[in-house]
Amino acid sequence: MGSNSESDKIGAAILDDGMQTAFELVGNIEIVMVNGMNPWGNKKLLPLGPLREPLAALCRADIVVLHHADLADNENINAIESTLQKSKNLCLFSSPEWLLRIFSKSKTLPGIERIGALHVDRLDFSDHHLFQIKDIESIRMRLHILQAKFGSKPVVIFTEKDYYREPEILKHLDPFEVLVLCSELQIVPRKGHTEVSYQDLLRRLLEAKASGVNKP
């Protein structure tokens, strides 16, 4: 890219699943997200289990963020911390469930029910599914069935990821209202680790890497 390109204004690049790439990428910070409800599964790699890398790869991480933390009991969280300490002295930050749970098709949708939905119906698709017209037709058929059953027009809720993957094809759901479920990360305090300390650690790691030091 030329020196006058818009890329000169980019301050940071975030790569999803960057640790598992076949290419040798040089990153400043490596953050691992761990599901507090089911962190390691059967501890086997894909396709035999949920892991994309062996647990030994945790030694490359700088920070571990435990999501769904408010749904996991202290015993499970302590066990996760113990596993992390065996790999490396990592800082563990916790984030609550919020509405992120909707991404897991094995779970219910408590976030939607909490905001007053009288009935929650669902159609599950595999991760990274590319929507086709036949999928939209299937959704529309389900919507008409629900409308006839309950006497009111249902509202469609998509995850943010699915919406931005296929924003045009979802227009075929008109006249039904389509809402996009956005998510955010909130750090909950645990053992002195807070949102402020999380941001401070990120800053110190970036400064250390920029100066050529391996660790802050």
Please indicate, yes or no, if residue 13 is contained in any of the structural domains.
Answer: no
Same domain for 133 and 65?
Answer: no
pLDDT of the chain along its 216 residues, tens only?
Answer: 445 566 667 777 787 776 666 566 667 788 888 888 889 999 999 889 988 888 888 888 888 888 888 778 888 888 888 888 887 766 667 765 433 332 334 444 556 766 677 888 888 887 778 888 899 999 999 999 999 999 999 999 888 888 888 888 778 898 999 888 887 778 888 888 888 988 898 889 888 877 776 555
Same domain for 69 and 119?
Answer: no
Beta-sheet pairing, 178-181 with 63-67: unpaired
Annotate 17-81 with DSSP letters as a single string: TGGG-SS----S--EEEEESSSSSTTS-BTTTSSBSS-GGGGGG-SEEEEESGGGS-HHHHHHHH
Residue 171 domain boundaries: 99-184
Residue 138's Cβ-side half-sphere holds a number of Cα atoms within 13 Å equal to 9
pTM over 0.75: no
Same domain for 110 and 174?
Answer: yes
Please indicate, yes or no, if residue 25 is contained in any of the structural domains.
Answer: no
Same domain for 73 and 135?
Answer: no
What's the number of domains the chain is made of? 2
